[in-house]
Structure 1
Amino acid sequence: MFIKVKLPWDVLIPAEDMDTGLMLQRAIVVRLLDAFASKKATKDLGYFITPTILETVGEGKIKEQTGEAVFPVVFNGICFKMFKGEVLHGVVHKVHKLGVFLRSGPYETIYLSHLKMSGYEFIPGENSMFMDENMSRIEIGATVRFVVLDTEWREAERDFIALASIDEDNLGPF
């Protein structure tokens, strides 16, 4: 689910980038975009997608040791976070005997266990897949509609892993 957020952040501007007027505004926006991209995700908000509107820029405070300025800013942004029970689409990128791994938006690790694919059997081979009696295939590159069973935040990687199922109506490959 996409979430609109309002975030207060501090933006660090090196002394050589401090100028007046539009150049300072540009430096603040560029640094904010860099910081937003590098932060990646948080447990509470999910993945940072994009800042949208820079609402306010506070008065900068100079750090005496470095000569850099810290500007408090408030901006709106968009984040993406999966919630339990949500139905989404993902693309299969790994197939194993015990299940498949999907990608959906910024989520790189969504696990769909073979136990949550009723009616599908593992077909080993060079291009392993899961197939049901109607010849419907779950293979690398297939798009699958799934329901989110749970998500887990991994602090070290600063990302999430999600568990999925297709054991409900209108779910599965399409």
Structure 2
Amino acid sequence: MCLCDRVSRIMYLKSKLSWNVVLAAENLDIKGLMLQKAIITRLMADFAAKKASKDLGYFLAVSTVLSIGEGKVRQQSGDVLFPVDFSCITFKMLTGEVLEGVVHKILKHGVFLKCGPAENVFLSQKKMDDYQYVPGENPYFMNGKSSKIEKGVVVRFLVIGERFKEAEKVFEAVGSLEGDYLGPIS
């Protein structure tokens, strides 16, 4: 299931996951609601710390806790492991997808865009139809139709490649303006 944010027109994915949540014995409470709150709090902390995965993209939000299974005591530590099923919202750029990003860095050979949680989307000058680099204190790219790409401008682009950097848990992508209805948005 995909959800579309009307303002930024970025595609998000809704995923169902099953994770094990581990609680230290001292965090356990006999009262059911307090235990449930502790499990959900720990799930949220683990979710935020994970940041992203190659298959699902960036982890943005837990939307629904579907079920919390029976706890199992770990023999060595005494911690209790709870299987938790939940749904979440993720963001992943896919090759061939048309997205929008905001220009945040301009170089002689192209621009870098921020697109949702992804900050490393490179748009090479070679993939920007007839745009020319204009140097100066605030450099920009301009084409023959006076269309301007500068810092802060929203650009609609085609994703032509993406990769996941496991160590940093970030995605990098390469975009193109070659195609209909791509480029700066008025």
The TM-score, its normalising length taken from structure 2, stands at 0.90
Does 1:85 pair with 2:96? yes
Question: Which residue number in structure 2 is paired with residue 3 of structure 1?
Answer: 13
- 1:14-163 matches, cutoff 5 A: 14-20=24-30, 21-163=32-174
RMSD: 1.1
In the TM superposition, residue 98 of structure 1 has moved relative to its aligned partner by 0.5
CA distance in 2, matches of 1:84, 1:7: 24
Q: Identify unmatched segments of 5+ residues in structure 1.
A: none
Shift of residue 163 of structure 1? 0.6
What SS class does the counterpart of residue 129 from structure 2 fall into?
coil
Cα drift, residue 26 of structure 1: 0.2
Q: SS at 1:44's partner residue?
A: coil
SS state of the match for residue 76, structure 2?
coil
**Paired residue type of 2:93:** M
- State the 1:66 CA deviation: 2.9
d(CA) in 1 for partners of 2:87, 2:128: 39
Separation in 1 of the partners of 2:184 and 2:115?
14
- 1:35-61 per-residue CA deviation (whole Å, 9 max, x = no partner) reads 111111111111111111111111112
Q: Distance in 2 between matches of 1:143 and 1:76?
A: 30
Partner secondary structure for residue 126 of structure 1:
coil
Distance in 1, Cα, partners of 2:41 & 2:119: 27
> After alignment, is 51-60 or 139-148 more displaced?
51-60
Instruction: Give, in angstroms, the shift of residue 79 of structure 1.
Output: 1.1
Query: SS of the counterpart of 2:171?
Result: strand
Specify every segment of 5 or more residues in structure 2 that has no aligned partner in the other structure, as ranges.
Answer: 1-10
* Partners of 2:98 and 2:119 in 1: CA distance: 16
Aligned partners of 2:12 and 2:20: how far apart in 1? 24
Segments ≥4 residues shifted beyond 6 Å: none
Write the distance in 2 (CA, Å) between the matches of 1:111 and 1:95: 10
Q: Could you tell me how far 1:136 is from its partner in structure 2?
A: 1.4
State the distance in 2 between where 1:55 and 1:134 align. 53
Secondary structure class of the residue paired with 2:40? helix
1:168 to 161, 168, 179: 179
Percent sequence identity over matched residues? Answer: 51
